[in-house]
Structure 1
Amino acid sequence: MSCSALMLVAALSTASVQAQGPTTVEVARFSASKPGTSLPDGWKPLTFRKILRLTTYELVEDGAQVVVKAVSDSSASGLTKEVRIDPKEFPIVRWRWKVDNLVQKSDATRKDGDDYPARLYITFEYDPDKVSFGKKLKYKTGQALFGDIPIGAINYVWETKAPVGAILDNAYTDFVKMVVVESGPSQIGLWVDESRNIYDDYKRAFGEEPPMINGIAIMSDTDNTKERAIAYYGDIVFMTSR
């Protein structure tokens, strides 16, 4: 093959990749920050009505990387970022996390046990034109009781007893489903890399096509159990499946 032909093939290959568009959406690159500095642009506190004691979050150095450290002491709050991601185009979500301890009284089936040392919270858009009247009514009731709640959300959680892979109703609202990705003490103190198909998980959890993803949050909470938990969160990215 001539040099000009090789150059043509290379150019066509590059054009093909560019035409396909990006293969990742970087949501959190905490590792690019400096320890002790403010959080990256777009991230803000996630708080809840009637919960005054808040979890603390800070950028720290853990080994060779900068991560977010969360300390929850009978508290609940998170860090959230608004996004707009098509889960059909970018179905794979990858992140890494570490916990120093479990929440011993954690129980996803009970309101007084709805605490986790670490969770990744993904919310979806509310499209009133695609929601039944009954669901709209339930949603407005939930808003009156709890404030701004998502019409649909997936929580990837580090559980204490529930089996890995379990999909559970949230103890407060069936608009939120809990997906157990880690459980028990075997990985305590270790960094764990996670990869989930949010498109498939949503369909399994809610029995329908997912709408656009409009938010992502990290959260460590112990307000119900009155325990203490420490967790660390690394970078978060959405990817195509190709």
Structure 2
Amino acid sequence: MRRVVPAVVALLATGLLAPAGAETEQTAFAPADLLAWERQVFVGTTAYALDHVAGRPALRATCRDSASGLVRRQTVDLTKTPILEWSWRVEAVPAAGPSERTKAGDDYVARLYVIRDGGLLPWRTRAVNYVWAAGEPAGADWPNAYADQAHMVAVASGPPAAPGAWVTARRDVRADFRRFHDLAVDAIDAVALMTDCDDRGGTWRAWYGPVRFVPR
């Protein structure tokens, strides 16, 4: 996606995602909570709506040559709840196209990311993006093509083993910031999600289930 990471970095630098703790700390988000997150539009508008699919409530995301996300601005205390757990679902994954390590391929059918605010020093802002990749294998990681302050992690890749099945993922956010950014962080300042397809084009769809931060 052309603008996501640079735009998020700029928002943090200008204080639009600050001060930390602007929202009451919340560690569990149902799909209805996700829909209430702040909308950030970068290229066109990805449509987000509540749905009920495969036996679960969900947030449905549909992009059409577009890229816009939902952002929750708040401090999350990683000393208490360092594990990010979520569920997501796709019915299809776009065929592998340009490398996702390049600007032309920086689109993802589903992504969830966590942000550490750099304050008055925007170059110190860091983000970890957990993505459902089309070409990169699950477990791969790489610097974002547009901004090396963000690191991409392929949590899932390619078509799901069971089309339409829910997939649950867990990541140790503190460990990931240490591994990918060499940072010891006690908190993050924002969490966001997005389905984007503005670079490659077409119509992509994903469903997001509950997102929560839990103890180790």
TM-score (norm 1): 0.72
Among 61, 66, 73, the residue aligned to 1:75:
66
Q: Quick one: structure 1 residues 212 and 56, their matched pair in 2 at CA, closer, same or farther if it must change by over 3 Å?
A: same
* Partners of 1:54 and 1:41 in 2: CA distance: 14
CA shift for structure 1 position 107:
2.7
Matched, 1:109 2:101: yes
1:125 and 1:211 in contact (8 A); partners too: no
Aligned to 1:189: 164
> In the alignment, what sits opposite 2:56?
65
Residue 83 of structure 1, CA deviation:
1.8
2:139 and 2:34 map into 1 onto residues whose CA distance is 31
- Quote how far apart the aligned CAs of 1:106 are: 5.5
Q: Would the alpha carbon gap of residues 41 and 168 (structure 1) be closer, same or farther in structure 2, given more than 3 Å must change?
A: closer
Matched AA of 2:102? R
Q: Distance in 2 between matches of 1:98 and 1:41?
A: 16
- Are 1:56 and 1:70, in contact at CA under 8 Å, matched by a contact in 2? yes
Q: Distance in 1 between matches of 2:175 and 2:104?
A: 29
Compared CA separation, residues 40 and 209, structure 1 to 2 (3 A): closer
Q: What SS does the corresponding residue of 1:82 show, helix, strand or coil? A: strand
Query: Which protein is richer in helix relative to its size?
Result: 1
Asked if the contact 1:108/1:168 (under 8 Å) is kept, the reply is no
TM-aligned CA distance change 1:102 to 1:63, over 3 Å? closer
- Superimposed CA distance per residue, residues 69-120 of structure 1 (whole angstroms, 9 cap, x where no aligned partner): 0001111001111121122321111000001221322532111110000000
Segment drifting more, 186-195 vs 117-126: 186-195
Aligned to 1:93: 84
Query: What aligned pairs does 1:34-73 form with structure 2 within 5 A after superposition?
Result: 43-48=37-42, 51=43, 53-73=44-64
CA offset at residue 65 of structure 1?
A: 2.3
Alignment partner of 2:62: what SS?
A: strand
Q: Deviations over 1:192-234 (max 9, x none)?
A: 0111111111111011212521111110000000122110000
Take 1:226 and 1:67, find their aligned partners in 2: how far apart are those partners?
24
Q: 1:120 to 1:40 in 2, by over 3 A?
A: closer
Backbone CA RMSD of aligned residues: 2.1
**TM-fit CA distance, 1:180:** 0.8
Q: Which residue of 1 aligns with 2:20?
A: none
**Cα separation, partners in 2 of 1:106 and 1:181, compared to 1, 3 Å:** farther
Give the aligned residue type for 1:160: A
Determine the C-alpha separation between the residues in 2 that align with 1:96 and 1:40: 13
The CA distance in 1 between the partners of 2:34 and 2:136, in whole Å, is 33
| 1:143-195 superposed Cα distances (whole Å, 9 cap, x missing partner) | xxxxxxx8111100001121222221001000110011001113342110111
List alignment gaps of at least 5 residues for structure 2: 1-24
Residue aligned with 2:27, SS:
strand
CA distance in 2 between counterparts of 1:75 and 1:40 reads: 19
Structure number having the greater strand percentage? 2
Contact map agreement 2:128 2:150 (CA 8 A) in 1: yes
* Stretch moving more, 228-237 or 100-109: 100-109
Contact preservation (8 Å) 2:174, 2:186: no
Q: Is the 8 A contact 2:64 2:204 kept in 1?
A: yes
